[in-house]
Amino acid sequence: MVMREATAMLSQLRLHAHRPVYTEEFEAPFLAATREFYTREAADFIAYNSSPEFLQKAESRIREEARRVEEYLDPETTAPLRALMEDVWLGQHFKTLVYNPNSGCTHLFQADKIADLARMHRLFSSVPGALEEVRQVMKDSITKYGEAIVRDPEKTRDPVTFVQNFLALKAKFDQIVVRAFAESKEAFGALVAAFENVLNKDTRAARFLSLYLDDLFRKSMRGLSEAEAEQKLDEVLVLFRYLRDKDIFEALYKQ
Predicted pLDDT of residue 75: 85
Residues contacting 234, CB < 8 A, separation 6+ = none
| pTM for the full predicted model | 0.87
Share of the chain above pLDDT 70, in %: 85
Residue-level pLDDT at 8: 55
Which band of pLDDT confidence, cut at 50, 70 and 90, is reported for residue 40?
very high
Q: Which value, in Å, is the radius of gyration of the alpha carbons in the chain?
A: 26
So where are the chain's domains?
1-92, 99-255
Q: According to CATH, what is the number of the domain 99-255?
A: 1.20.1310.10
Largest CA distance in the chain: 87
Choosing among 1.20.1310.10, 1.10.760.10, 1.10.300.10, 3.90.660.10, the CATH entry for 1-92 is 1.20.1310.10
pLDDT tens-digit map of 71-87? 888 888 899 999 999 99
Per the prediction, the chain carries an average pLDDT of 87
Q: What's the pLDDT at 5?
A: 55
Residues 200 and 243 sit within 8 Å (Cβ to Cβ)? yes
Q: Would you say residue 10 has pLDDT above 60? A: no
Mean pLDDT on 123-141: 98
What is the DSSP secondary structure assignment for residue 245, as one 8-state letter?
A: -
Amino acid at 225: S
Please report which confidence band the pLDDT of residue 13 belongs to, taking 50, 70 and 90 as the band edges.
very low
Q: Is 223 left (phi over 0), alpha (psi -120 to 50) or beta?
A: left
Q: Is the pLDDT assigned to residue 3 strictly greater than 60? A: no
Question: Percent of the chain scored above 90 by pLDDT?
Answer: 61
Q: Could you report the per-residue pLDDT of 146-165, keeping only the tens digit for each? A: 999 999 998 888 888 999 99
Please give the C-alpha separations between residue 133 and each of 69, 78, 99, 117, in angstroms, as whole numbers. Answer: 32, 28, 9, 13
pLDDT at residue 247, rounded to an integer:
55
Fill in the amino acid letter for 157: R
